[in-house]
Every structure is written in structure tokens, then in C-alpha cells.
Amino acid sequence: MSSAQRLLDIVKNKGLQGMAGARLDAEIPLSEALLNRLANEKARSMETLEHLQILLPGEDTLVVDAKARVSTKLFGIKVPVRRQVHFLINREVSLSPSPRMQLRIRDGLSGLEKKFIHWFENLISRTVPGDISLEQDILTIDLGPVLREQGLEMFAGQLEQVRVEGQAGRLLIKVRASA
């Protein structure tokens, strides 16, 4: 085990004991290229997916451009369906009971067969970390399970503010925390 891994294990084991008064400010940019790389890696096992691209044109907009071969009601023939789904990012991430990011669907899913909408939900679930729920036009990403998976859930309670800004070509995540 490397010394860095050992230190990480010790800190995780100790939790926030002795850390009262700590402060942290972070700005983490996630580039369009990085998001596309990750999303395509995660979605690779979806046989029906032919194309997937995430676009960040700015002004808190996120666009998912996806092409799939989905069976139609007519003889079950598989036809290609291509849609660009436009999301508006809610900048403020709600923190209680766990960090939850929300995006509002602005355009792209209306008038589609339920089958494609389910396929799209499946695509999002596979490519985005955390628990996903789609209700009406609001997509909620609950990051609580990600923190639990990493053994970092104790830090969730120390978050003061988390913001996600959709800028041209990148997502900028701003975090403020204290213990």
C-alpha cells in the first residue's frame, strides 16, 4: 500500500475528529471533452446506442445528443431515432438530506414514444453517477450513493454550498465546506 493510500485510509478512519474549524473552497471545471469521454465509456455496453454527445453551449444549458435504434410498434422494426435533449441546469445543488443536482428538460422528449423515453432514462442512469429520477420535466441526480460508495458520506454534512454552472465548453462546480 502506498503512503498516500495509507494517509487516505487513516483520514477516512478518523473522520472529522480533530478537524473542527476546517474550511475549504473549491472550483472544479469539468470539460466537455472529459464529460463525453466518461459518458461514452459508461454507455459502451448499450447495444442500441449509435451516437452520444454532450454539448455545453453556455448559459447553464446542457444538451444530450443521442441516436438509438429503438423497436417501433409497427412489426417491431428497429428504426434509428435521434434526439437532442436540452436541459437547463439548476445552479444551486440542494444539500439536504444528500447533495442533489437538478436539471429541467427544456426540449427534446415531447412527442416521443414512451419506449424511447425509457431508453433515454436508462441511458442517463448508466452514464451519470448517483441515483437518477425523472419526474415531469425535472431530472434529479442524487449524489448521496456516490459519497457512500466512496466512504465519504461523513463529509456531506459539512457542505455549505455547492453550485454547478454551465459555461461554454465546461461545467464549473463550486464547493464551499467547513467542519
Residues of this chain that interact with other proteins (CB under 8 A) are: 1-10, 12-14, 17-31, 33-34, 37-38, 41, 129, 146, 149-151, 170
Please state the closest distance from residue 116 (CB atom) to other proteins, in A.
28
Cβ at position 33, least distance to other proteins in Å: 7
Do 132 and 141 touch, CB atoms closer than 8 A? yes
Q: Of the two residues 37 and 118, which places its CB atom closer to other proteins in the complex?
A: 37
DSSP letter, residue 1: -
> Taking the complex as a whole, how short is the minimal distance between the CB of residue 77 and other proteins, in angstroms?
36
| Cβ closest to other proteins, residue 26 vs residue 138 | 26
How far is it, in rounded angstroms, from Cα 90 to Cα 171?
Answer: 12
The values of phi and psi at residue 130, to 5°, are 95, 180
Closest approach of other proteins to the CB of residue 9, in Å: 5
Which residues does residue 161 pair with via DSSP β-bridges, in sequence order?
A: 176
* Per-residue cell: 45: 455496453
In the complex, least distance from residue 131 CB atom to other proteins, rounded to whole angstroms: 14
**Which of 115/176 has CB closer to other proteins?**
176
User: Which residue number, 1 or 74, has a Cβ lying nearer to other proteins?
Assistant: 1
Rounded to a whole number of angstroms, the minimum distance from the CB of residue 126 to other proteins is 13
Of 59 and 149, nearer to other proteins (C-beta) is: 149
- Gap between the Cα atoms of 89 and 103, Å rounded: 5
**Taking the CA atoms of the chain, what radius of gyration do you get in angstroms?**
19
Q: Report long-range pairs for 58-61 (Cβ below 8 Å, ≥24 apart).
A: 58/166, 58/167, 58/168, 58/169, 59/166, 60/88, 60/89, 60/91, 60/165, 60/166, 61/86, 61/87, 61/88, 61/89, 61/106, 61/166
